Amino acid sequence: MIAGHILLAVLLSFIMAARARRVSVSALGVGVLVVLGSVAINFLELFVAFLQAFIFTFLTTLFHRACRWCSITDDHPAGEHEGHEAAAH
C-alpha cells in the first residue's frame, strides 16, 4: 500500500535532480513527465482502492451467507432452531 507513495517520492526526486543541474529545458521536460506519471500513479492507486473495497464487500457478504447456512441443520427448519436452544437452557 505504501509502494505508490514511494514511487511518487522517487518521481519528485527526479525533478530535484534535474533542477540541481540548472538546465531549465531538461528540468521542464522532466517536470512534465513527472506530473503525467504522478497523475497516472494516483489514478492507479484510486482504482486499487475501489477494487479492494469491492472485493472486501463481496467476501464479507459471501462469508456472512456461508455462516448463516452452516447454522441451520437438516433436522431443524429455519426459525425453529432458536426456540429449541432457549428451552434447553
Domain layout of the chain by residue ranges: 3-88
Q: What is the pLDDT of residue 50?
A: 96
CA distance 31 to 4: 18
Q: Is 11 exposed, middle or buried (0-12, 13-18, 19+ CB in 10 A)?
A: middle
Q: What is the pLDDT of residue 86?
A: 54
Predicted TM-score (pTM) of the model is 0.61
Per-residue pLDDT at 13 exceeds 80: yes
Residues 25-80: pLDDT tens digits? Answer: 777 888 888 889 889 999 999 999 999 999 999 999 988 888 876 765 555 555 55
Q: Which amino acid is at 88?
A: A
> What cell numbers appear for 35 in the block?
506530473
Q: Answer with the residue of higher pLDDT: 58 or 11.
A: 58
Q: Are 72 and 81 contacting, i.e. CB atoms less than 8 angstroms apart?
A: yes
